[in-house]
Amino acid sequence: AQSVTQPDIHITVSEGASLELRCNYSYGATPYLFWYVQSPGQGLQLLLKYFSGDTLVQGIKGFEAEFKRSQSSFNLRKPSVHWSDAAEYFCAVGPRAGTALIFGKGTTLSVSS
């Protein structure tokens, strides 16, 4: 069955420290991959996407993610976290853009000072 797993429910990172949020997927075909961020009381904002090509993709707010086919992973990274990055992060997968997505359960990021 198609699925997305975000192994970490909650992560706390010190401000200025690096961040990596994990995402593993189970999908029969080459997937389209997305990371979204949801701040409290807000809708989801797209951080970045992978459709094809370079496996390291850059997104907004200084985030990047790397698609590793051999590991079925699409981990999100940021070299230096800011307090404003505290939010919930969702990884999602789909057969192509413009179709219904399968979402992970999310990882809540807290940033400590």
Partner 1 sequence: GAGVSQSPSNKVTEKGKDVELRCDPISGHTALYWYRQRLGQGLEFLIYFQGNSAPDKSGLPSDRFSAERTGESVSTLTIQRTQQEDSAVYLCASSRPGYEQYFGPGTRLTVT
DSSP 68: E
Shortest distance in whole angstroms from residue 80 CB to partner 1: 26
Among 44, 80, 40, residue whose Cα is nearest residue 64 = 80
> Locate tokens 């409290």: which residue?
40
Total residues in contact with partner 1, by rule CB under 8 A: 23
Shortest distance in whole angstroms from residue 111 CB to partner 1: 20
Regarding 106 and contact with partner 1 (CB under 8 A), the answer is yes
Choose, by CB under 8 A, the member of 55, 60, 105, 112 that binds partner 1.
105
Q: Where are the alpha helices (DSSP H) in 1-113?
A: none
> Locate tokens 């990055």: which residue?
85
Regarding 34 and contact with partner 1 (CB under 8 A), the answer is yes
Choose, by CB under 8 A, the member of 42, 55, 84, 110 that binds partner 1.
42
Regarding 30 and contact with partner 1 (CB under 8 A), the answer is no
Shortest distance in whole angstroms from residue 51 CB to partner 1: 9
How far is residue 36's CA from residue 45's CA, in Å, rounded to a whole number? 5
Instruction: Give Cα separations from 29 to 4, 25, 58, 81 (angstroms).
Output: 14, 11, 23, 33
Interacting residues toward partner 1 by CB under 8 A: 4, 34, 36, 41-46, 49, 90, 92, 96-106
